[in-house]
Amino acid sequence: MNCEDKVVIVTGGAHGIGRALASRFASEGARAIVIADVDLNAAQTVADEVGGIMMKADVSDESDVIKLIENVTERFGRIDLLCSNAGIAGLAGGAEVANDVWQKIWEVNVMSHIYLARAVLPQMLERCSGYLLLTVSAAGLLTHFEAAPYTVSKHAALSFGEWLSIAHHDAGIRVSCLCPQGVNTRMILGEDGEQENFLREGALEPEQVAESVIEGLKDERFLILPHPEVADYFRHKATDYERWLRGLRRMRESVLATRV
């Protein structure tokens, strides 16, 4: 996909990767860029920066998603590229994490992709064209050993992206899943930029991720990997699962030991 003259929605567009994507789409000559977020002030700032518009959308609420798709379609006539980018990290931990935390992460990191696809696919299928970009994570291919809710939700999001691509490719729909490792955003840096996180080493800037997205969209690649080493890790995982699990156990112990 070439983004020139395209109508684009970026959910979670007020910060981080979403903001960088919006800026990059503007430089590519997108016809319209819609910044959808719950942080209205920040979303408006980004919209002003890229010459787009801001719309409120809580992507964990299907009624909000439906309104977003209807409003953008009514205003611009179509949606060419939907970037389902909103996501949350949640808490570290595993089975002991409270049900309401698991549920919230599931709603934002998984159900939002489903709600958005459900709302936008009918018009794309009618036109036999359209693109869905899901921001997932390298944790969807590998595992984030500190946070089970996050990694489980990202595995599910990737699986849904795979299903969409299999089911709708021949109808003209293209799907990509963006799977970066560490990115210098609030998710790993924290609100004050001082959060301790093992992913900070080797982290990319959001603008670098956005550049990888543009290249991936042009090539219509399903997996967009801003960190190319993720592909190697994924191959190692598939080749020798037991060895890969042993390695992750050692890494987890090493990271946790530095925090004692």
Residue 127 placed within a domain: yes
Task: Report, in angstroms and rounded to the nearest whole number, the Rg of the chain calculated over CA atoms.
Answer: 18
Active-site annotation, residues: 150
Query: Which DSSP symbol is given to 147?
Result: B
DSSP 155-200: HHHHHHHHHHHHHHGGGTEEEEEE--S-BSSHHHH-TTS----GGG
How many domains would you assign to the chain? 1
In single-letter form, the type of residue at position 180 comes to P
For the domain that residue 71 is a member of, what is the CATH number? 3.40.50.720
CB 154 within 8 A of CB 109: yes
Residue 250 placed within a domain: no
Residue 236 placed within a domain: no
Residue 74 placed within a domain: yes
Residue 245 placed within a domain: no
Residue 234 placed within a domain: no
pTM: 0.91
From first to last of the 260 residues of the chain, give the pLDDT tens digit. Answer: 999 999 999 999 999 999 999 999 999 999 999 999 999 999 999 999 999 999 999 999 999 999 999 999 999 999 999 999 999 987 788 899 999 999 999 999 999 999 999 999 999 999 999 999 999 999 999 998 888 999 999 999 999 999 999 999 999 999 999 999 889 976 664 455 445 555 557 789 999 999 999 999 999 999 999 999 999 999 999 999 999 999 999 988 888 877 66
Residue 249 placed within a domain: no
- Residue 193 domain boundaries: 7-229
